Amino acid sequence: MHAIGVISSYASWLPVSSATPVITLGEGNTPLLEARGLLPPKFRLWLKWEGANPTGSFKDRGMTLAVSKACEAGARAMVCASTGNTAASAAAYAARAGARAVVVVPQDAVARGKLAQARIYGARIVRVRGNFDAALAAVRQFTSQHPTVALVNSVNPYRLAGQKTAAFEVVDALGHAPDYLALPVGNAGNISAYWRGFVEYHEAGLAATRPHLLGFQAAGAAPLATGAAVDHPETLASAIRIGRPASGHLARQAVAESEGAFYAVTDAEMLAAQGRLARATGIIAELASAAPLAGVLRLAESGELRPGTEVVVVLTGHGLKDPDVLELHGGADEDSISVEAVAEALEQEARR
């Protein structure tokens, strides 16, 4: 039988045993798509499309492991703080496991689709008057005193262990590690997980090299790019609206070891990249996911990216979850016309 989900696919690389119940929705094994028309032909650009995961973001890779291990340990409820995608993922995997999920979200800052997801999966949604960093502090405090409630944020080491499988998939698909891997950075767990995956494959002799990691933050929430914590993070890219990244130390170490860098991109750059991506490739990635694309486009234009290099951009989540952002792209519907006039409208397009 073929393996379903990242635990079955990469069991020997993960902290699981035959006693671990596998709670999966078939996450992972996402497409690595070559992107033409976004960068000049002297670069080779690949898109790791993580919006293809079961709940629409890479969070599922870590959640399958975190929830499976929590169930193995006898936990009855899963708790997380979230800017949205972790909440949707925790709620889905808890539902799959027959467990409770409680998600704590900042009051005004979560995309509508993500909240709707968590709601229909049956999670209890607690809205807090504060930002993500405050929500995370509250759930960490609570779960440290309640061992039967599992904390499934990326400070849970099983989350990062599951997420490193994305690096394995990139190498398995290309047959080697790319020169650069670019991704958005919020709480900084994912960039740390990718690095671990690349290092493990390299040490096992499955990849001759390791990529330089390029981490992109929003200009209004860029503690790693600037080196200073942000008390009031501001950006439309709600998935990376984080001022005090919990895995900041791991991410700094990963970027240093890989001889990579952190950068900040503006909301306007992200919006432009999100639109360009959709028109050039047919992929609607969420705004945070457009950050690394915006950044790579800028680095290629400025000449900082050497010609001939191979770049993988990780598109971390699906754009359909955030209709309010999609509407910023404009493009209102045309007025309706008579059935007779349809042929004329089509005729005009056919002549273009």
Contact positions with ligand PLP (CB under 6 A) in 68-97: 85
| CB closer to ligand PLP out of 36 and 112 | 112
Q: Is 104 in the site for ligand PLP (CB under 6 A)?
A: no
Q: Is 239 in the site for ligand PLP (CB under 6 A)?
A: yes
Task: Name the one range near ligand PLP by CB under 6 A: 37-45, 254-262, 283-291, 327-335.
Answer: 283-291
DSSP secondary structure string, 224-252? Answer: HHHSS--SS---S-GGG--SS-TTHHHHH
Task: Name the one range near ligand PLP by CB under 6 A: 23-31, 98-106, 284-292, 293-301.
Answer: 284-292
| CB closer to ligand PLP out of 257 and 301 | 257
For 285, which DSSP code? B
Task: Judge whether 218 and 267 are in contact, CB under 8 Å.
Answer: yes
Query: What's the min distance (Å) between Cβ of 216 and ligand PLP?
Result: 10
9 sits in the region (left: phi over 0; alpha: psi -120 to 50; else beta) called alpha
Q: Is 131 in the site for ligand PLP (CB under 6 A)?
A: no
- CA–CA distances in Å: residue 299 to residues 177, 235, 258, 295: 20, 21, 18, 6
Task: Name the one range near ligand PLP by CB under 6 A: 11-19, 66-74, 203-211, 281-289.
Answer: 281-289
Query: What's the min distance (Å) between Cβ of 319 and ligand PLP?
Result: 9
Write the burial class of residue 18 (CB in 10 Å: 0-12 exposed, 13-18 middle, 19+ buried).
Answer: exposed
Tokens found for residue 250: 């791991």
Q: Which of 122, 85, 87 is nearest to 104 (CA)?
A: 87
Query: What's the min distance (Å) between Cβ of 39 and ligand PLP?
Result: 21
Task: Name the one range near ligand PLP by CB under 6 A: 8-16, 165-173, 174-182, 282-290.
Answer: 282-290
Contact positions with ligand PLP (CB under 6 A) in 314-333: 316-317
CA distance 95 to 112: 20
CA distance 103 to 116: 12
| CB closer to ligand PLP out of 73 and 256 | 256
Q: Is 211 in the site for ligand PLP (CB under 6 A)?
A: no
Specify which residues 310 forms β-bridges with: 44
**Which positions from 165 to 204 touch ligand PLP by CB under 6 A, shown as an x/- string?**
-------------------xxxxxxx--------------
Tokens found for residue 11: 């069991």
| CB closer to ligand PLP out of 116 and 337 | 116
| CB closer to ligand PLP out of 177 and 188 | 188
CA distance 34 to 44: 8
The count of residues interacting with ligand PLP (CB under 6 A) is: 18
| CB closer to ligand PLP out of 176 and 276 | 276
Residue with tokens 């999670």: 123
Q: How many CA atoms lie within 13 A of 119 on its CB side?
A: 8
Tokens found for residue 22: 């596998």
| CB closer to ligand PLP out of 64 and 190 | 190
Q: Is 235 in the site for ligand PLP (CB under 6 A)?
A: no
| CB closer to ligand PLP out of 222 and 239 | 239
CA distance 90 to 331: 34
Number of H helices, E strands in the chain: 14, 10
Specify which residues 311 forms β-bridges with: 45, 180
Query: What's the min distance (Å) between Cβ of 333 and ligand PLP?
Result: 28
List interacting residues with ligand PLP (CB under 6 A).
Answer: 57, 59, 85, 154, 184-190, 239-240, 286, 288-289, 316-317
